Amino acid sequence: MNNQINETLSQMLAILKEGRMTEGQETYFAADVVTQEGGNPPLTGKQAAIERLNKFRESIGVAEFVSYVVGTVAITGNTSFYDAVLRLKLKNGETVSLEQVVKTEWRDGKIINERYYHS
């Protein structure tokens, strides 16, 4: 199972490193995925996760993607973990860096639960 998760996770991270976050969600999230940002209440459903991502982009005024750098990746059972730094250029000209750790549960090549921990 770890080999399948490792291969699928590697493919997903390659998409994210190109800044194609919505495509990553559309491709790898199960229809009934549960996602949670830090201590906020969890959301259920792929469409709800995509809408949250779009609202986040709008709320901070994202002008363009700069980079998504992934650090350490670990897999145990059907769960993967990785840390990453997302850099975005905002409409006001500022560039921001957002650090996160992502915990993901997989089933049949799809993400069924994902939680984001931010610093």
pLDDT (mean) for 90-94: 97
So where are the chain's domains?
A: 2-118
Q: What is the pLDDT of residues 14-28, one digit of tens each?
A: 999 999 999 999 999
- Looking at the whole model, is its pTM more than 0.85? yes
pLDDT greater than 70 at residue 1: no
> What is the Cα–Cα distance from 8 to 13, expressed in whole angstroms?
9
Q: Is 2-118 in CATH node 3.40.50.720?
A: no
Mean of the per-residue pLDDT values for the chain? Answer: 96
Integer-rounded Cα Rg, in Å, for the chain is 14
DSSP 3-state percent helix, strand, coil across the chain (nearest 5) = 35, 50, 15
> What is the Cα–Cα distance from 27 to 38, expressed in whole angstroms?
23
In the chain, % of residues over pLDDT 90: 96
| pLDDT score for 119 | 76
In the chain, % of residues over pLDDT 70: 99
Q: What is the pLDDT of residues 49-80, one digit of tens each?
A: 999 999 999 999 999 999 999 999 999 999 99
